[in-house]
Amino acid sequence: MTVIAGPCERAAAPFVAALPHCLDGLTTDEVYETCRTSAEPELNDRLRHAVNRLVRPQGWLCEREATRGQLRRVDLHLVEMGSGMTFAAVEAKMRYATDLARATDWVVNGRNGLAADVAKLAKAGPNVPTLILLWTPYIALARWGLRYKRWTTATEEGLVPLDSLEQCREATAGALHALSDGPRWHVEVHRGEGKDAELTLDAWLLAVPSTT
């Protein structure tokens, strides 16, 4: 467990606290419907609302797709209402957990990969803590409707992944460590079995040190 101490830890704290509750009220099939259509913006919005329930009493606000200073159209900004001072900038991605195990280089260095987000955030300057947020749904069983079928095999019940959840988590942790040796957090956002699918949705936060 990371001790909440430095600027990055303090910036991450509201997101780490909100992540376990950001999908409260949704069934596993509803979470699956979001993940199977790669609806990252919907996940970001739900997290934004959950963060705001925590930080509004402190006079803070989590905004989406804001442009502040050197950072243009960053997915989530945590700011002070009134002054507009930025406490955190978060760039988000959703990638299937199996991609981290089977196509790590594409996830990190491919077009629109994590490395590009790290380079973007690293230019923010030392006064703005920046974080990568990576959503990694692991579809343990898809009985119907899975659009992204790479790294799966068909069974009588439905499509199942070639790699275990533990293998995918290990690969994800390794990929993020290679990107940055800053603090890292892992949160299991949702786990369940529905009529349509069985899944686990993880979220990972990675602090990105400034290079300016």
Instruction: For the chain, give every domain's residue range.
Output: 7-208
Distance between CA atoms of residues 167 and 176, nearest Å: 14
Compute the average pLDDT of residues 88-94: 95
Is 90 exceeded by the pLDDT of residue 153?
A: yes
Q: How far is CA 110 from CA 68, 105, 151, 169, in A?
A: 26, 7, 18, 20
Q: What is the mean pLDDT of residues 136-142?
A: 98
Percent of the chain having pLDDT more than 90?
Answer: 75
Per-residue pLDDT at 168 = 98
- For 13-25, give one letter per residue: b (16+ CB within 10 A) or e: bbbbebbeebbee
The answer to whether residue 212 scores a pLDDT higher than 70 is no
CB contact set of 65 (below 8 Å; sequence gap of 6+): 73, 74, 75
Poorest-pLDDT segment among 92-96, 111-115, 138-142: 111-115
pTM over 0.95: no
CA distances from 21 to 26, 66, 129, 189 (A): 10, 24, 23, 7
